[in-house]
Each structure stands twice: as C-alpha cells, then as structure tokens.
Amino acid sequence: MLIPSAFAQAAPAAGGDMTSSFTSLLPLVLMFVVLYFVMIRPQMKRQKEHRAMIEALAKGDEVATAGGVLGKVTKLGDTYLGIEIASGVEVQVQRSAVVQVLPKGTIK
C-alpha cells in the first residue's frame, strides 16, 4: 500500500562497464600529464642546470648568492666556498647558496 513496487534493472554488459571506467579516469590521467609537462619537468631541468653550474665553479669566478651577496670565489670545498666580498674580507657560504655566476669584470 505505502511501499511502491520495486522493479529490477537489467545488469549492464561486461564490456560496457570497462569502457565507462576508463573514460571516467581519462580526465584524471590527462591532468597528471599536463601537470608533469607544465610544472615537474621544467623544475627538474632547472635543478639539473643549477647542479651543473655549482659543480663547474672555479677560483676567480664572480658569483651572486641567494642572499644577494656578490663576490669572487677564493676557496673551493666539497660543501662550502670562500667568497671575497671586499678586499681582505672573506665569507664562507654553502655551494647551494650560489644562484648565478656573473660575467668576468662585473664586480669592481
């Protein structure tokens, strides 16, 4: 009386279920592919270039650090560099703090 009659629905075909699950995952997969090419890959490329620049440092190179200090490399170590920021003033910084190698003659 108060409960309506329930009608059973036919089960979908097995092949139709698989294609619908793949099509529902397609936007998610495309989003990860776009994320990889837009964000992850360029970041990895920058890290690789930075690592190569740090390994190629030599005495006499003029560098800029992450803190904005400009100076000339005087000592090279595995993890630290000696940078002369003024005549007779030398500071030690981590190699990873070097952001840019400047052209020769930039620092007077």
State whether 69 and 48 are in the same domain.
no
**How far is residue 83 CA from its own chain's centroid?**
27
pTM: predicted TM-score of the whole model, two decimal places: 0.68
Among 63, 48, 49, 60, smallest CA distance to 95 is for 63
> CA-CA distance, 19 to 37, in Å (whole number)?
27
Q: Which domain holds residue 95?
A: 58-102
Please list the pLDDT of the chain residue by residue as tens digits (108 residues): 666 766 666 655 555 567 788 888 899 999 999 999 999 999 999 999 999 999 999 999 999 999 999 999 999 999 999 999 999 999 999 999 999 999 999 887
Quote the pLDDT of residue 16: 55
Q: Does residue 88 sit within a domain?
A: yes
Kindly state whether residues 19 and 36 are assigned to the same domain: yes
pLDDT of res. 8: 63
